Amino acid sequence: MRLLLACALSACLLAQAPPKDAPPEDLPAPITVDVNVVNILASVRDKRNALVANLDKSDFTILEEGKTQTIKYFTRETDLPLTIGLLVDVSRSQENLIGIERNAASQFFNKVLRKKDEAFLISFGEESELLQDYTSSPRLLQDGLNQLRVSSGVGGLHPGPVPTAGQPRGTVLYDAVYLAASEKLKGEVGRKVLVLITDGVDQGSRMTRNQAVEAAQKADAVIYSIDYQDPSAYGPFGFGGAGGEGELRRMSDETGGRVFKVDRKHSLDEVFQEIQDEMRSQYAIGYTPTNDVRDGSYRRLEIRLANKDLKAQARKGYYAIKPDAR
């Protein structure tokens, strides 16, 4: 339904197109999926790692496979619809953290969701399960969060949508990311974000990390990973912890997101606030690639800034596929 509404809106925009002499920066940011436009969400930080939200189109240069592209759409602090998928690790190693995660996520949804935004909730342990489908209601999301329970190798009445039969079960992180990206986000429009709360360890997924990343890239989704570990889950002295931060970093970096680590100096509430601040300080950039062949190949992207003291954070590339093949 949201896709149909987006197409209808696209037709209205075309019917009310501005005069040919209107400057490109006055055009609205693209929200359709049926035109050959590459959309990039970028965050910019200075040397102190502070967000920079006052740049103009002229401050950015986009390169695809080393070739400069002409920026067609540019919007600061975009008000495009936001779709958030929250994926919560409920494996045995996270058992003592679920209550904290539930409370912090509830506050996050209450603060970040606006009227036209939507969110869904997936838990993953031995299996992945959709606890709440698309909604803009904090109450329904709270109901979903209240269903978070440890899933650690014991069969249940509600098997997850990503089957793991015949394989060692533990934490199907990659399956959950793949499911959320390919089944929930690929047909959506606007800004799309996956927020993962996990120790970063995967055990038993059918999908690989690379397949999960590819699904997110094809869905134009940004992955924010929250590395949250309970040291007591790895022995009496916390030795041999999860060590999954590297895997989380690879997923987040490739899609334009970041990894946040929860520790004694950095609470989960503070992490959610940082994610919220970043999502509300992004630049939406769109261009029509000079190579318009949609052959399914992976195209590398690079963002350069006029101010060398600034650093852009965005996805590393995209797949040149037709919209109906997503």
- What is the model's pLDDT at position 90? 94
- How many Å apart are CA 237 and CA 54, to the nearest integer? 47
Give the pLDDT of residue 232: 77
Quote the pLDDT of residue 323.
Answer: 64
Nearest CA-CA partner of 216 in 245, 254, 246, 247: 254
Residue 199: closest CA among 95, 111, 315, 293: 95
3-state secondary structure of 262: coil
Q: pLDDT of 122-168, one tens digit each? A: 999 999 999 999 999 999 999 999 999 998 654 433 344 444 444 44
The stretch 16-35 carries a mean pLDDT of 46
DSSP state letter for 10: H
Worst-scoring range by mean pLDDT, 21-30, 208-217, 279-288, 308-317? 21-30
pLDDT (mean) for 180-206: 93
Lowest mean pLDDT among 152-166, 175-189, 221-235, 242-256: 152-166
Give the tens place of pLDDT for each residue, 42-101. 999 999 999 999 999 999 999 999 999 999 999 987 678 899 999 999 998 899 999 999
Looking at 57-61, 119-123, 184-188, which range is the least confident one? Answer: 184-188
Segment 287-317, tens digit of pLDDT: 999 999 999 999 999 999 999 999 999 999 9
pLDDT at 322 over 80: no
Domains with residue ranges and CATH for the chain: 36-77+293-325 (no CATH), 82-279 (3.40.50.410)
pLDDT at 275: 93
Burial (0-12, 13-18, 19+ Cβ within 10 Å), 322: exposed
Q: Which has the higher per-residue pLDDT, 256 or 28?
A: 256
Q: Is the pLDDT of residue 17 over 50?
A: no
Residue-level pLDDT at 170: 74
Share of the chain above pLDDT 70, in %: 79
- According to DSSP, the β-strands at 67-69 and 60-64 are antiparallel
Average pLDDT score over the chain: 84
**Can you give the length of the chain in residues?**
326
Share of residues in the chain with pLDDT > 90 (%): 66
* Residue 191 CB neighbours (<10 A): 23
